[in-house]
Amino acid sequence: MVALPFEYKETLLKVEGVSKMLGDTQVLKNVNAEIRNLTRPGMTQGQVVALLGPSGVGKTTLFRMLAGLDTPDEGRITMADGHTVRRGEVGVVAQNYPLFNHRTVLSNLVIAAKLAGQSGGEAADRAKALLHRFNLGDQMNKYPVQLSGGQRQRVAIAQQIMCGETLLLMDEPFSGLDLVALQSVVDLILEIAASDELQTFVIVTHDINAAMAVADTIWLLGRDRDAKGEPIPGARIQRTISLAELGIAWRKGISETPECVGLRREIRELFPRL
């Protein structure tokens, strides 16, 4: 399949030689990865990276370090200007979408903006505009408990955007969703990614189909194997797959094409060895 025109430019996030122990267990070892600004002629196009790997391989540990919540034992994770990622400067959308249950949807967004240094009036105006854009305008005076799971997820993403974050980390956003809800989440991520050239998502997921539907790049996290085929402690990025280069990214309705089916099969066959 012919790739749509695109170009890689400056580095937005870089992971260099990152290793991490949890207790006596080597969870990650010499992880290297990079996200670069991906541009398309005549279009605004953000970046979506899917982090795939089997359960227990270290995805959550890497997620927390990308978010600045934990620090590597070795190596470093740097942002576009070269500084080490800091706690609070990366938007995190956790799996349970933590919101203030005693605050309305609008108030949840305004509080996030104020904590980021915006004035009350400015924050309220921006929050209302964002809620309308996310098709939540009629929900702004409701409380989180009154929303569906999909609506809470939209509010959680909007909350992070209110903080001015262009790098958003999402933990298992497709977990437990039916096909209709899953497609809605995929469409939302693609829409937000296309709203700003520097808007970047890193999505931790075990859902290969959803990852291929939403991402332009896939990182496969796994462990090396010894001569007997036994896993060596400490996972790293075993393979980076550019869906953009393969011509799979940004195309709707191609999930059952030979290219997609073949890649999906290849990734599934790799999983037991990661």
**Residue 145: predicted pLDDT:** 92
Query: Hey, what are 149's tokens?
Result: 């799971």
**Residue 175: predicted pLDDT:** 80
Whether the pLDDT of residue 164 is over 70: the answer is no
pLDDT 10s digits, 31-85: 999 999 999 999 999 999 999 999 899 999 999 999 999 999 999 999 999 999 9
pTM of the model: 0.89
CA 19 to chain centre: 21
* Interatomic CA distance for residues 2 and 74, integer angstroms: 40
pLDDT 10s digits, 190-231: 988 998 999 999 999 988 999 999 999 999 999 999 999 899
* SS3 label, residue 158: helix
Q: Checking DSSP bridges between strand 91-93 and strand 25-39, what pairing results, if any?
A: unpaired
For residue 33, how many other CB atoms are within 10 A of its CB?
A: 21
Whether the pLDDT of residue 177 is over 80: the answer is no
Whether the pLDDT of residue 178 is over 80: the answer is no
Whether the pLDDT of residue 235 is over 90: the answer is yes
Handedness of CA 15, 16, 17, 18 (dihedral sign): negative
What's the pLDDT band for 254 if we cut at 50, 70, 90? confident
What's the pLDDT band for 146 if we cut at 50, 70, 90? very high
Q: List b or e across 147-171, with b for residues whose CB sees 16 or more CB atoms inside 10 angstroms.
A: beebbbbbbbbbbbbbbebbbbbbb
Handedness of CA 193, 178, 206, 217 (dihedral sign): negative
What the chain holds in terms of domains, given with CATH numbers, is 7-67+199-273 (3.40.50)
